[in-house]
Structure 1
Amino acid sequence: MKTLITTTILLLALFVTSYAQKSNRPVEVLMIGTSHSYGKKPVEKFDSIINKAYAFRPDAVFGEWLSGDDYDAIPDYWNKATIEKRLAYLKSRPYVDATEADKQIRESYKLLRKHPNFHQVRMKLARALYLKRDFGNAAYQLYRLDRARPAFGDEEKTAYLTILGVPDSLYRNRTNEYHNILFPLIDKLDQDKILPMDSQRHDVAWSEAWGKADSLVRIWEKGLDSTSVDGKRYSALQKRTRELEAAGNKAAQAGMATVAFNSPEGDEYLNIVNFYGARRMFGAAGFPEAALNEMLRQWQFRNDDMAHNVVNRARAAGAKRVVVGVGANHRKIMVDILRTIPGVTVYEFNSYDGK
């Protein structure tokens, strides 16, 4: 009995030590703030972005996707109804799914690593991933099919319609950061997955706070005397916003929008236009400070979740270096949060020197 107790204690100690080491494992993060739409005819220099991220040699790439578990845990959020319609459409296709989806997914990944042109295997994998609510990885597989689709023969066209439905029913956004930066980066790295890090569990409260702040700011604007001290402050803020917008537009026209998004000026512009000046107009008579503070508090909650998801999931996956692609409005706040987490080193895209 004494031997059994001693052995149990030793095993428990080893487990605790192993868990502690894993949970404190150093993680290096390259943060890239991106646009969700680079336009139908983008001039952005995507290759330079991809090459810089590739030089970081990440073990994994994160995107602004919900995990399947996180999606299932949320009763509602801004995109839930749309996703549910797509799931229903997919289930309506005249295709019989495998009885063991997890096994099918594992075997499909293995097969595609050897035979990337087995397009029907990829179609079935994309479907299985989507039905498991692994939307990021389903989108990556659909991206690969989208690139291959122009060369499909009649058999593959018919299979696509049967398994996935009408082309563009599930994959239609070719202007975003995934199609143009993150998915090509995954290809270049010879990886085949994107990790999820988004959080939408605060979305209902966030939407309510945002709506209230928007309404109150609009009312405040209508009653503002432009000749008053507060009116002049607001005019100066609007002037600064126009200057920042003009600089951003100039950068975008030169194919440097992502560089602009990852600059202090880009952070300033997005903070002003997305949060009604944030706290820059605090102190002005009648300005709805409480509503703005609540809006910013809800925004903090989401970004706290996202930053910790990156670190926790990177450590769980054994990834030491990761690239995080995220809408540019999240960039600065996530960088700040990540820098408070022990064991995490953050590199910002513009200042990263490629080492």
Structure 2
Amino acid sequence: MKHILHLSLAFFLLVEVAFKSNAQNQIEIVIVASSHDNSKSTQNFQTIIDKLKNFKPDMVFGEYLPAEDYSKLADDNWAKKAFKNKVNYINKLNPESPKNISKLIKKNEKALASFPYYHKTRMNLAVEYAKTWDRGNFDYQIFVLENYMKAKFGKEELAEYSKMFGSTDSLKKLGVIRPGSEYNKIYFPLIYQLGQNQIYNMDCQAYDKPWGEAWGKTDSLYKIMEKKAKADSLSPEAKTMSAIDRYWSFSKA
């Protein structure tokens, strides 16, 4: 039986759905909901990771856009602009682009699957992911380098790492390293502890513009409701706002 983890960025929900394609083949998809920012949380995330490991997933998906989808987005799309800054940063530090980079990525992935402590190979792979706009796996390789490999570097490897990626502070400032994110707290450690080598991308920005317009209308209506609630503490709007406040109080605990 194959298990797939799909990481959906909502709040505090765990749903297991089983789809039967035929009598002999069953795929289980576990949808894990989580907060984008866990920097102030005192929760034991290893407990969550252990529970997810019990599902023994074959694949872990994240809210990352597939590399080929970036070219389909307008240049002013927020997701494209955000990652373009990171790609430009990596290209500035690593201006040379190897020929047949897709073949090289597969070669380096295979090498790390056989022995995960080829530090320079992992550095090269992170750069190659950035150059091919694979944000999810670029982020994951930087996470592994920073959290599991860097302490084992020799002087030459530390110098090479600084040359290729700059300082840890620079990577944090750029948003490559996000210590409080759900990926750093849960999903990247999960992938590493499972002995897997990549995160699979599952996101879509094709409808970002109409979604943004719908969100703008919703936000306007929310502000009207908030105003009515403040004007009359016994109104239906006040009761709704009170319920929303209780929810946020729970989610931040």
Is the CA contact (8 Å cut-off) linking 1:137 and 1:194 kept in structure 2? Answer: yes
Report the more deviating stretch, 197-206 or 25-34. 25-34
The match for 1:57 is: 56
Q: What secondary structure sits across from 1:56 in the alignment?
A: coil
Equivalences for 1:126-275 in 2 at 5 Å? 126-147=126-147, 148-167=149-168, 168=171, 169=174, 171-219=176-224, 221-222=226-227, 226-227=231-232, 232-249=235-252, 252=253
Cα shift readout 1:260-296 (whole Å, capped 9, x = no counterpart)? xxxxxxxxxxxxxxxxxxxxxxxxxxxxxxxxxxxxx
TM-score w.r.t. the length of structure 2 is: 0.79
Is the CA contact (8 Å cut-off) linking 2:140 and 2:188 kept in structure 1? Answer: yes
**How far off is 1:46 after superposition?**
1.2
- Work out the CA distance in 2 between the residues paired with 1:176 and 1:198: 17
**How far off is 1:227 after superposition?**
4.5
Is the CA contact (8 Å cut-off) linking 2:70 and 2:133 kept in structure 1? Answer: yes
Structure 2 spans left out of the alignment, 5+ residues = 1-20
The match for 2:3 is: none
- Work out the CA distance in 2 between the residues paired with 1:224 and 1:240: 12
- Work out the CA distance in 2 between the residues paired with 1:37 and 1:243: 19
Number of corresponding residues? 226
Is the CA contact (8 Å cut-off) linking 1:78 and 1:203 kept in structure 2? Answer: no
Is the CA contact (8 Å cut-off) linking 2:142 and 2:177 kept in structure 1? Answer: no
Q: What secondary structure sits across from 1:79 in the alignment?
A: helix
Q: Residues 38 and 194 from structure 1, CA distance in 2 versus in 1: closer, same or farther, beyond 3 angstroms?
A: same
**How far off is 1:224 after superposition?**
7.0
Letter in 2 for 1:60: M
**How far off is 1:31 after superposition?**
1.3
Letter in 2 for 1:179: N
Cα shift readout 1:43-86 (whole Å, capped 9, x = no counterpart)? 21112111111111111001110001122211142232221122
Between the two structures, name the one with larger relative contact order (CA 8 Å, sep ≥ 6).
1
Structure 1 spans left out of the alignment, 5+ residues = 1-20, 253-355
Q: Residues 220 and 189 from structure 1, CA distance in 2 versus in 1: closer, same or farther, beyond 3 angstroms?
A: closer
**How far off is 1:219 after superposition?**
4.3
- Work out the CA distance in 1 between the residues paired with 2:91 and 2:154: 24
Q: Residues 69 and 112 from structure 1, CA distance in 2 versus in 1: closer, same or farther, beyond 3 angstroms?
A: same
Letter in 1 for 2:182: E
**How far off is 1:94 after superposition?**
4.4
- Work out the CA distance in 2 between the residues paired with 1:170 and 1:216: 32
Is the CA contact (8 Å cut-off) linking 1:95 and 1:163 kept in structure 2? Answer: no
Matched, 1:88 2:79: no
- Work out the CA distance in 2 between the residues paired with 1:236 and 1:94: 56
The match for 1:115 is: 115
- Work out the CA distance in 1 between the residues paired with 2:46 and 2:232: 49
Cα shift readout 1:122-181 (whole Å, capped 9, x = no counterpart)? 011001011111111111111110112244333112212332333324632011111121
What value does the CA root-mean-square deviation take over the aligned residues? 2.5
Q: What secondary structure sits across from 2:29 in the alignment?
A: strand
Q: Residues 225 and 186 from structure 1, CA distance in 2 versus in 1: closer, same or farther, beyond 3 angstroms?
A: closer
**How far off is 1:211 after superposition?**
1.8
Q: What secondary structure sits across from 1:92 in the alignment?
A: helix
